[in-house]
Amino acid sequence: MFKEFKNFIMRGNVLDLAVAVIIGAAFGKIVTSLVNDILMPPLGLALKSVDFTNLFIDLSGGHYHTLAEAKAAGDATINYGSFVNNVIDFLIVAFVIFLIIQQANRLKKPAAAPTTKECPFCHTTIALAATRCPNCTSNLLAATP
């Protein structure tokens, strides 16, 4: 049983997944810090410290000014303000990740242009600029429309 477990763990896809999860968690911390520590303070200043956390519906019929008061009293609440905050946070994080991935894709080296083609007669690989196949000696200009 231990040998089977060892074989399972040592498979490439399991190790790749483990590395991806660890790097993903670290990347998530970086993006969360970017959003919370760099983007949210100016956004909060621009929105005059708008906070949706105290928007809630008290299902017990009590009248509380803050969510903390309702929770301290033990009343059941629907916390739609917290949900709105989480949706806004998600959208900001998703947009930041989109921007990071977009910039990373720009840094990637573009694929090299092909330098060879296939002879339509004998199907061997030949130079892209060839006008006659060196293998079957077919005229390639006659084969193209």
115-143 confidence digits (pLDDT tens): 899 998 899 999 988 888 988 988 888 66
Amino acid of residue 69? E
Domain membership of residue 129 (yes or no) is yes
Q: Tell me the pTM.
A: 0.53
Structural domain of 120: 113-145
Calculate the alpha carbon distances from 53 to 63, 78, 128 in Å: 16, 11, 64
So what's the pLDDT on residue 15?
74
Domain membership of residue 92 (yes or no) is no
DSSP lists the bridge partners of residue 126 as: 117
Domain membership of residue 118 (yes or no) is yes
**50 compared with 75, residue with greater pLDDT:** 75
